[in-house]
Structure 1
Amino acid sequence: MHDKRAREILFGAFWKGGWIRDSDRYVSPDDFAYAKRMGYMFDPIELSHDQVVSQLIEERERADLTALSNSFLASLGSRRLDLRSALGSYAFASNFPQHEIATTSATIVPSGAQRCNWCGFYEFQNPAKVDLSLLNFERHRWGGVRRDNPVYAWLDLSLFRAEALQNPTGADQQMMHEILETARSMEPDATASSLEKALAGTLKSSKAERRVLIEILAVCGVLQPRSRAGYFGEFTFDFEREHTGQHFNDWGYPAIWWRGSDGVSETALAAYFPNL
């Protein structure tokens, strides 16, 4: 459900020309109750590793790929970034394994939390409260930024199911064709950052939106680096997601490794967008 007032309350809780500091965040009880009723804000909840795993797999099994794909395409014109996000969450979850927490001594952090080597979830001795409102803010503002976070993927897919189905227009499909042609035509050593700049005139978007768009297509395997594993037909464990070592490079995995020579995976494209 798209509700302007609830969205404004959500945004006002976290952003005012930039991030609002935790200590300065405030939402009146009445506003919070309204945004909560509309499905935009939530009470913090406690989640264990095993709960997250089971809930994400359950949402994956309930997902409708056609609806996810159509909503992604429709978002290119509508800029409903919350609906664009769900395809990336599905792609991340598509081969997500049923598993118990897998740790080594190296993944026990000073607080005592254990980081799962497989999915990256941090589990504390006393379950930490998760701020789902923050995740939903990121979902609405940018289309999500935590592509490999299983909590985000679960929330994203569950909220998507409550939305009305979106169908792309011919203009939306044409924009997608232009995005793909741009990716196919990049110089061999072009990076994801180069592609982001090249897409600036293709669709109405901010730099941050184009980055998220590219990262979603990379998680789907449409922009799959040939030199690295991904999520199309497989699941890349958290400990396998290599970084380039460039401290200034904050692209997500696997988009961080994509180069122009990798082009577009026609196999993944056909799987996720069979009607293009």
Structure 2
Amino acid sequence: MRTFPNHLFCVANNSVPSNISPCQVCGDFQCLYETEEDICEFLDGGGVLAHSIGDYYYGLKAINSLPSSSPQEVDIGIFHKIIACLKHSSGSIRTVQSELKNIPNFKSNVEERRLLLETLGYCGVLFPLEHTSPYSHYVRLNNAPRTSHSSDWNYPADFWKGRDGVNIEALNFWFGDYLL
């Protein structure tokens, strides 16, 4: 949402807006429906369910309703090891996902590690050099490219390779306080 364009809902030329007409700028739909079930699904699912403004809104609302907590020293140490793993990887995103399970005290399952890596992609910390980074430019994630039709990874993490490295500018923007 950092790079989300400030705009009014806009449908294709000569189209009449409806609940099934996506916006030509952001790809989202005109109506947002918020229910308690939507927010619970977000919390139970561990993250973004789909790429829509509604999901971003529900997610932020759900997270903001949780009691705040500060990372402990061990958490920051784990984060440093995750970043080091990403910086030194030469493999694919799946290879890194597997390597992360070897970090001491980092209790996570495959799905949680995938969501973590995808989140780092959304933040622009991970981005494939030959693709647009959501950190610097708005990307319509509901219509983003995929490496294959059967890939279960979301853009841009789907295209990331270890040789792409880590975007230090984005890393410092989002997590600089924890890297000192």
Cα shift at 1:131: 4.7
Separation in 1 of the partners of 2:36 and 2:65?
Answer: 16
Match of 1:199 among 100, 104, 110: 100
Cα shift at 1:128: 7.4
Aligned residue for 1:119? Answer: 26
Separation in 1 of the partners of 2:74 and 2:125?
Answer: 20
Aligned residue for 1:101? Answer: 9
Match of 1:158 among 61, 67, 75: 61
Separation in 2 of the partners of 1:158 and 1:197?
Answer: 31
Aligned residue for 1:143? Answer: 47
Seen in structure 2, the aligned counterparts of structure 1 residues 128 and 269 have a Cα distance that, compared at 3 Å, is closer
Q: Which consecutive unaligned segments of at least 5 residues does structure 1 have?
A: 1-92
Seen in structure 2, the aligned counterparts of structure 1 residues 271 and 128 have a Cα distance that, compared at 3 Å, is closer
Aligned residue for 1:236? Answer: 139
Higher mean C-alpha deviation, range 250-259 or range 161-170: 161-170
Alignment of 1:255 onto 2:163: no
Determine if contact 2:127/2:167 at 8 Å carries over to the other structure.
Answer: yes
Aligned residue for 2:74? Answer: 171
Rg comparison, structure with higher value: 1
Cα shift at 1:195: 1.6
Residue 95 of structure 1 aligns with an amino acid whose one-letter code is: T
Separation in 2 of the partners of 1:238 and 1:183?
Answer: 23
Separation in 1 of the partners of 2:155 and 2:126?
Answer: 11
Seen in structure 2, the aligned counterparts of structure 1 residues 198 and 265 have a Cα distance that, compared at 3 Å, is same
Aligned residue for 2:37? Answer: 133
Cα shift at 1:162: 2.8
Separation in 2 of the partners of 1:267 and 1:144?
Answer: 24
Q: CA RMSD in A?
A: 2.6
Alignment of 1:215 onto 2:118: yes
**Structure 1 residues 203-238: Cα deviation after superposition (integer angstroms, max 9, x where no partner):** 111111111100111111111211111221321235
Q: Give the TM-score normalised by the residue count of structure 1.
A: 0.56
Separation in 2 of the partners of 1:181 and 1:133?
Answer: 38
Seen in structure 2, the aligned counterparts of structure 1 residues 151 and 128 have a Cα distance that, compared at 3 Å, is closer
The structure with the largest helix share of the pair is 1
Cα shift at 1:266: 0.9
Separation in 2 of the partners of 1:259 and 1:115?
Answer: 32
Residue 198 of structure 1 aligns with an amino acid whose one-letter code is: E
Separation in 2 of the partners of 1:141 and 1:250?
Answer: 15
Seen in structure 2, the aligned counterparts of structure 1 residues 174 and 157 have a Cα distance that, compared at 3 Å, is same
**Structure 1 residues 175-218: Cα deviation after superposition (integer angstroms, max 9, x where no partner):** 1011111111211xx22222211112221111111111001111
Seen in structure 2, the aligned counterparts of structure 1 residues 198 and 117 have a Cα distance that, compared at 3 Å, is farther
Q: Which consecutive unaligned segments of at least 5 residues does structure 2 have?
A: none
**Structure 1 residues 109-151: Cα deviation after superposition (integer angstroms, max 9, x where no partner):** xx9711223322234xxx57555514532333323343x3211
Seen in structure 2, the aligned counterparts of structure 1 residues 251 and 102 have a Cα distance that, compared at 3 Å, is farther
Seen in structure 2, the aligned counterparts of structure 1 residues 145 and 200 have a Cα distance that, compared at 3 Å, is farther
**Structure 1 residues 18-65: Cα deviation after superposition (integer angstroms, max 9, x where no partner):** xxxxxxxxxxxxxxxxxxxxxxxxxxxxxxxxxxxxxxxxxxxxxxxx
Seen in structure 2, the aligned counterparts of structure 1 residues 102 and 191 have a Cα distance that, compared at 3 Å, is farther
Residue 123 of structure 2 aligns with an amino acid whose one-letter code is: C
Percent identity among equivalent residues? 25
Match of 1:226 among 115, 129, 132: 129
Determine if contact 2:42/2:59 at 8 Å carries over to the other structure.
Answer: no
